[in-house]
Amino acid sequence: MVGAVIGALFTAFIIGALARFALPGPDHMPPWLTILIGLGGSAIGYGIVYGAIGKHAASWAPIASFAAAVGLVVIYRRFVQKRALWGEEAFRFPERGFGVDAYRERLKRAGIDPDQIGIHGYGESRPPEQMVVRTEGVDSVTKSTVNADMTVDLRAALDNKTQMDYKADVKIKGRLGILGDMVLRATATLILQEFTKRLHKGLGAPV
């Protein structure tokens, strides 16, 4: 029983996703709505085939289900999103609809203006200018706590290069904190070196 339900939901999701891709332009909607469109299209498609032709024409049911799901997407676009179905306006990012506001916010946080998304794609994005890294750990030997706040500023340089400036505020509490300023400075330097090494490795740049 559970397997049949999961299979039906998976099939509905595939039908709904294909129906979305059948129309031009972005169609960002939550997974539950994609499944709902697939289920609705399947119910309509199978109902039409079985009612008009009979069970002996069951092989036509998937095609009818897909066509019905496309029809539901058309209705959703026209009457919920108030969007065009064809032409340049169809490629604009929607302003209304289920899950659209949350997706627009995610795009803005990524430096992409959703209103600039159109026939030419995602437009121009803004590269990140600052990264803030906060770490916390415990020294395995002295059981001292280490808290570090690191701020990395990225600025465009000549020859398509990026200049990286960083500063760190390291706080150490416990036995390690009483060993003196030299140890603290050395610990902070090691933390910065390890951070820089991992950052270069993550970016694929030579250390």
Query: How confident is the model at residue 16, as a pLDDT?
Result: 87
pTM (two decimals): 0.51
In terms of residue numbers, what domain contains 72?
2-116
Domain boundary among 116, 139, 162: 116
Domain boundary among 88, 116, 144: 116
* 185 is a domain residue: yes
Question: Are 85 and 15 within one domain?
Answer: yes
Question: Are 82 and 56 within one domain?
Answer: yes
Question: Could you list the mean pLDDT of each consecutive 10-residue stretch along the chain, which spans 207 residues?
Answer: 78 87 80 89 85 73 87 88 78 78 79 67 57 76 77 75 75 68 67 75 63
* 124 is a domain residue: no
Query: How confident is the model at residue 121, as a pLDDT?
Result: 47
Question: Are 13 and 76 within one domain?
Answer: yes
Question: Are 20 and 109 within one domain?
Answer: yes
Cα–Cα distance, 196 to 198 (Å, whole number): 5
* 125 is a domain residue: no
Query: How confident is the model at residue 18, as a pLDDT?
Result: 87
Question: Are 101 and 69 within one domain?
Answer: yes
* 196 is a domain residue: yes
Q: 72-125, pLDDT tens digit by residue?
A: 988 888 888 888 777 777 777 777 788 787 878 887 787 777 777 664 544 444
130-138 vs 145-156, strand pairing mode: antiparallel
Question: Are 110 and 134 within one domain?
Answer: no
Question: Are 70 and 138 within one domain?
Answer: no
* 176 is a domain residue: yes
Question: Are 109 and 9 within one domain?
Answer: yes
Cα–Cα distance, 187 to 175 (Å, whole number): 14
* Residue whose tokens read 């058309």: 74
Number of alpha carbons in the 13 Å side-chain half-sphere of residue 81: 27
Question: Are 135 and 176 within one domain?
Answer: yes
What is the count of structural domains for the chain? 2
Question: Are 6 and 101 within one domain?
Answer: yes
Question: Are 19 and 96 within one domain?
Answer: yes
Cα–Cα distance, 70 to 49 (Å, whole number): 16
Question: Are 18 and 40 within one domain?
Answer: yes
Domain boundary among 116, 151, 174: 116
* 156 is a domain residue: yes
C-beta of residue 35 within 8 angstroms of C-beta of residue 9:
yes
Cα–Cα distance, 154 to 84 (Å, whole number): 40
